[in-house]
Structure 1
C-alpha cells in the first residue's frame, strides 16, 4: 500500500512538472502572439500608406521591401522580426490570401507608375487588401485569445494543483502532528497509570483532579480515601497473587462506576482515592457502598470465600473552610479514614469539625517536633519489670513522654503517629536511646547498680543500613557494658522483610544487644517465627489478659505460648498486668516477668532512680502484697 502511494505521488509530481513547463511555454508564446498581431497590423497600415504615397507620386521601394520582409517572416515563421507561425487554420488561410493579394497589389503599383490611368484599379485592390489584412489581424487576435484562455486554464489548473499539494502536505503534517500528539498522550497516559490496576498514579490523579475542580465550579465534589482492612493478612494467608487480583477487580468496579468529570487512582498497596461529584451526601454513600458490596460479593464467590472489609474517609469540598488544593482534600479524607480504620460497623466517615480539630492538633505537633527535640522536651519514663520467681525489679522499659515548657504532657498516642507519618520517628528513637545511655552512665559513674533497659525502635530503623552501627557507637560513647541494653521492636516488623530482619537481629547480637519482640499476638505471626528469628525476649500483648481468669481458652493459649517459647530459651514478659489474679496465674504457668500497673506505672527518671536506690538497700525479696502497698498506682 505504501509503494502504491509512492508511485501515485511520483506520477502526480511528473504531471505537475509537465504542466509547469506548458505554462511557462504558453507565457512565452503569449508574448510572441502580441508581436504577431502587431506586425500583421503594421502590414495593414503600411500597405495603405504605400498606396497613398504612390498616388501622391512619392514611390517608396524601401517600404515595399520592408513589407516583403514582414510577409516572408509571417509566412515562414523565421526572420529578423522573430514572428511565429501559429498552427491555426483560419489564420493560415487568411495569411495565404493576403500574400496573393500583396503580389497583385505590387503589380498594380508598378502598373500605376507606368500609367496613371490605372488609379481606380489600384484603389480597389488596395481596399480589398485592407479588408483581407483586417481579417488576418482578427484571425491572429482570435488565435491569441484562445491561447490566452488555454494559458489561463493551465494557470488555474497549476494553482489548483499547488493548492492540492499544499493541502495534502498540510493534511499530512497535521495528521503526523495529531498522530504524534495522540502517541504522546497515550505514552503520557500509560506513564500515569498504575501497572497493576491501570488506575491513575497519585501524581497523574492530582493533575487531572485539580483541573476538574478548577473547571467545574458548578459541581459539588468529594474526595474518597479507601482502605481495605487487614489486607496484609489476606496477602499473607492467600498469597500476593490473590491480593493483586482483588485490587485489580476493585479498580475495575470503580472504573465502571466513574462518570464524566470523575477520576480515581491507586495511592499505594490497598489504598485508593476517588474524586466524585454529587447532589446529596446520601447519594455519595450509596455509590461507594455499592462499589464495596460488589467487591465483597466477588470475594464471597471466590474459592477462598474470605470476608473483606473496606473503610472509607470522605471529604466534601463544601465542608472545608480553607481554600484547599487536591492534596489538602486528600489529606483530610485520609484523616477521616483513619478514624474508622478499626471500625466494624461505621465504615464511612465524613471529614467534620471534630476531625478538623484533631488534624489541627496533629499539625501543631508536627510544627513543633524539631524544636522539642532540640530543647529536650521529650522525657524518658521507665516502667519496671518484675521477675516473678523473686518478686524483684530486674529491668525496665524506656518510654517517652512529651512535656511542654508549660508542664503540659502530650501522650505518645498523639505524637508517635505524627513522627511516624513524617518519617522522623528514627530521630526520636535515637534521642531516647541516647538519653537511656546517658542515665546508665550516670548510675555507673556514681557506683550505683544499673539494671538492663529495653528501648523501643520503630520499623523505619530497620530500613537504615547504619542502624546497628549507629546504636553501637552511641553505646560505646557512654561506655555502657554489654547486657544492659535490649532493643525492642513490634511484631508487625516481622512481615516487612524476613531476610533483612533476621540479619539485623544477628548484627544486634554480635554488637552486644539483646533483642525482644513487643506486642506479640496483635498480628499474625506464629511461634515458628519466634523459633527461627533467634530473639531473647517475647513480650505477650496485654490483649490476652483481661479475661485470663474467666476464659479457659485464653488461659490455655497463654500457657502454651509460654511453655513453647521457654523451650526455645526465650524469656517471657506479660504486658499490661493489672490484677493479682493475673499475677498468680502467670506465676503458675512459669511466666518469667510481669510489666504492668499491678506493680509499677511508668515513672520519670529521677523517680525510678529513687526506687532502685530503695530496692538496692533491701537485700531480701519483697512480698508482692508489700509491693502493691508501695507501688505508684
Structure 2
C-alpha cells in the first residue's frame, strides 16, 4: 500500500511538476502575448502620428525605421524587441494584411513628399491601416484569451496545492508587467521627442510644461526662448549635415543642463524653448550663458572653426501681470528675444515693463493697420539722390510714414516689422507704388519735370507669383513711362532664394522696370550673383562709411566695389552719407550718386516739389551739405 502511495505521490509529484511547467509556460506566454498586443498597438498609434507629421511637413524617417523594425519582429524575422510569433491562423492572416498595407502607406508617403499626390490618398490609406491595425490587435487578444483559458484550467487544478507557488508567479508576472508599462512610457516619451536634438517636440513640450506650471505651487519658473544669430549662414557655408551636428549637440547640451521638473523643447529649425526653475532671476541667464559657451566651444573646435552668437529671451512667470498659459509665456519670451535681434539689447534679455509696453504698442499697430490703409493714413516721403558729377538731384527714393489723425507720425521701424509679421507688407508696398504713380501722373499732366523714383519692395513680395503683373498694372493704369520707376529690394533676398530672385528680376526687367539692390554688403553672396543678376543700380550700405579702425582699408574696399560693378554697367549709390569729406572721397572713387543727410533728409511731397522747382530755377554746382531741404 505504501508502495502504491509512494508511486502515487511520485506520479502526483511528476504530474504537479508537469502541470507546474505548463502553468509557468502559460504565464510566460501570456506575458509575451501581452507585449505582442502592446507592440501592435504601438504600430497603430505611431503610424497615425507619422501621417500627422507628414501632413504637417515634418517628415520623420526615424519613425518609419522604428515601425519597420517592430513589424519585422512581429513577423518572426528577428529583431531587438524579442516579440513572440504565434502560429494562430487568424492572427497571422491579419498581420500579413497589416504588413501589406504598411507598404502602401509608405508608398503614399513617398508620393506625398515628392508632390505626386495630395494628402487625400494618404489620409484614406491611413484610415484603412488604422482599422486593419485594430483587427490585428483583436486577433492577438483572441489568441491570448484562448491561452489564458488553458492557464485558468491548470490553476483550478493546482490552486489548493500550489498556492504559494502561484503567489510567487503572480508577483513575478506583476514585476514584468510593471517593467512593460515602464517600457511603454519610455517609448511614448521617445515618440514625443525631436529625433535630431532629443528635445521635446513643441506640442509635447507645451503639454508637459503647462502641467508643471499648474502644479508649481511656490516654485518659480521661467520660459526661455533661444536661437542662433543667422543660423542659415552655417547651413549655407558648411552644409546641412554640419548644421544638424551643431543642433544635435546644442540639444544635448541643453538637456544635460536640465534639473528635476524642467523641460527642453524644439520649436523649429534652430529655435529652442526651455522651462527652468530658479531662486534668483539672474540664475536663468547664467545657466543659459554656460550652455551657449559650451556650444560655442564645440563650434570653434570643429573643422570650420566658425561660431555664431545666440539670442535669448527670458520670461519669468512672476514678471507677467496677466494670467497666461505656456503659449503666452513663450510669446513674451520670444518678444524679449527680438530685442537682441534688433541689436538694441545684449544677448540675454528679460521680459519687463518696457518690453511689455512695446508689445502693447505693436498690438495697437496690429489692430489699426488695416483700417489705416483704408483711411490712407500713410504718407509718402521722398529722399533725393544727388548726382556727384553735377551736384543736382537725379532721382529719389519713396519712403513711407504713418501719420495719425492727431498729427503724430509713427516711424517705419515701428510698423514695418508688424506688417511683415502679419503678411500685410505687400499691401503697404502697393499702396506706396500707387501713391508714387499718382504723384508722377499729376506732375506729367501739369507739364512739370518728373525725375525717376525708386520704390521699395519687401522680400515677401518676391514669393507672390502675381507681384510683377500687379506692379505693371499699377504703372500702366497711371500711364507712367517705365524709365521713371525703379524697383528697390534688399540683397538679403539672395540668402532666401537666389533662383527666385533671379527669375523675378528678369521678369521686372522684361516689364520695363529698372532694378536696384539695396543694403549691398550686409550679406556674403552678393558678388557671386552680380554676374547673373541684371540690376541697374547698387546701393552701398551705410556700414561701409561708419568710423572704423583702418579708414584707408575701408575706402580701398569701396573703390574695389565701385570699380567692379561699373564693369557690369551698374550705377552706384552711396547711402547714409553725412559729411562733406565722405562726399569728396566718393567723387574720387567714382561713385555715381549719393543719398544721405549731407544733402537731404527724407521730405514730404510738397517740400520735394519745392526743392525741384528751386533746382530748376537756380541751377547750382555740387553741394557740400551745408544746405538741407526741410524735413
Tell me, in whole angstroms, the C-alpha distance in 1 between the residues paired with 2:511 and 2:186. 55
For the pair 1:200 / 2:205, whether they are aligned, the reply is no
Tell me, in whole angstroms, the C-alpha distance in 2 between the residues paired with 1:532 and 1:160. 91
Task: Write out aligned runs for 1:95-134 (5 A).
Answer: none
3-state SS of 1:624 partner: coil
For the pair 1:337 / 2:337, whether they are aligned, the reply is yes
For the pair 1:468 / 2:468, whether they are aligned, the reply is yes
| Alpha-carbon contact 2:381-2:605 (below 8 Å) kept | yes
Most deviating of 547-556 and 409-418: 547-556
| Alpha-carbon contact 2:598-2:624 (below 8 Å) kept | no
Aligned match of 1:400 = 400
Aligned match of 2:263 = 263
| Alpha-carbon contact 1:549-1:555 (below 8 Å) kept | no
The two structures have a TM-score, normalised by structure 1, of 0.69
The two structures have a TM-score, normalised by structure 2, of 0.69
3-state SS of 1:533 partner: coil
Distance 1:429 1:160, change over 3 A: farther
Say how many residue pairs are matched: 483
Select which of 603, 620, 623 maps to 1:622.
620
CA RMSD of the aligned region, Å?
3.6
For the pair 1:210 / 2:196, whether they are aligned, the reply is no
3-state SS of 1:532 partner: coil
3-state SS of 1:534 partner: coil
Aligned match of 1:358 = 358
3-state SS of 1:288 partner: helix
Distance 1:188 1:301, change over 3 A: closer
Shift of 1:506: 0.7
Shift of 1:438: 1.6
Tell me, in whole angstroms, the C-alpha distance in 1 between the residues paired with 2:202 and 2:542. 38
Tell me, in whole angstroms, the C-alpha distance in 2 between the residues paired with 1:206 and 1:155. 48
3-state SS of 1:323 partner: coil
Tell me, in whole angstroms, the C-alpha distance in 2 between the residues paired with 1:258 and 1:626. 60
Tell me, in whole angstroms, the C-alpha distance in 1 between the residues paired with 2:372 and 2:411. 14
3-state SS of 1:623 partner: coil
Tell me, in whole angstroms, the C-alpha distance in 2 between the residues paired with 1:611 and 1:553. 37
Shift of 1:268: 2.5
Tell me, in whole angstroms, the C-alpha distance in 2 between the residues paired with 1:479 and 1:529. 33
3-state SS of 1:237 partner: helix
Shift of 1:156: 7.0
3-state SS of 1:340 partner: helix
Shift of 1:478: 1.7
Shift of 1:200: 2.4
Shift of 1:623: 1.4
Aligned match of 2:37 = none
For the pair 1:500 / 2:504, whether they are aligned, the reply is no
For the pair 1:312 / 2:317, whether they are aligned, the reply is no
Aligned match of 2:321 = 321
| Alpha-carbon contact 1:226-1:337 (below 8 Å) kept | yes
Tell me, in whole angstroms, the C-alpha distance in 2 between the residues paired with 1:523 and 1:313. 25
Shift of 1:550: 7.6
| Alpha-carbon contact 1:527-1:565 (below 8 Å) kept | no
Tell me, in whole angstroms, the C-alpha distance in 1 between the residues paired with 2:336 and 2:187. 35
1:479-506 deviation digits (Å, cap 9, x = unpaired):
2221221111112111001111111111
| Alpha-carbon contact 2:235-2:243 (below 8 Å) kept | yes
Tell me, in whole angstroms, the C-alpha distance in 1 between the residues paired with 2:615 and 2:548. 30
| Alpha-carbon contact 2:221-2:276 (below 8 Å) kept | yes
1:359-406 deviation digits (Å, cap 9, x = unpaired):
222222112111211111111101011111122211110001111111
Task: Write out aligned runs for 1:79-478 (5 A).
Answer: 157=157, 186=187, 190=191, 192-341=192-341, 346-478=346-478
Tell me, in whole angstroms, the C-alpha distance in 2 between the residues paired with 1:581 and 1:627. 10
Tell me, in whole angstroms, the C-alpha distance in 2 between the residues paired with 1:432 and 1:397. 11
Structure with bigger gyration radius: 1
3-state SS of 2:609 partner: helix
3-state SS of 1:227 partner: strand
Shift of 1:542: 0.9
Aligned match of 1:73 = none
Distance 1:617 1:181, change over 3 A: farther
| Alpha-carbon contact 1:392-1:622 (below 8 Å) kept | yes
1:436-495 deviation digits (Å, cap 9, x = unpaired):
122122222222222111111111111112111222222222222212211111121110
1:287-345 deviation digits (Å, cap 9, x = unpaired):
22221121122122222222332231111001111111112111111222222336699
Gaps of 5+ in 2: 1-20, 27-152, 162-168
Most deviating of 336-345 and 489-498: 336-345
3-state SS of 1:450 partner: coil
Tell me, in whole angstroms, the C-alpha distance in 2 between the residues paired with 1:533 and 1:527. 10
Tell me, in whole angstroms, the C-alpha distance in 1 between the residues paired with 2:613 and 2:226. 53
Aligned match of 1:54 = none
Tell me, in whole angstroms, the C-alpha distance in 2 between the residues paired with 1:506 and 1:199. 44
Shift of 1:221: 0.7
Aligned match of 2:608 = 608
Distance 1:155 1:392, change over 3 A: closer
Aligned match of 1:536 = 536
| Alpha-carbon contact 2:380-2:400 (below 8 Å) kept | yes
Tell me, in whole angstroms, the C-alpha distance in 2 between the residues paired with 1:240 and 1:389. 48
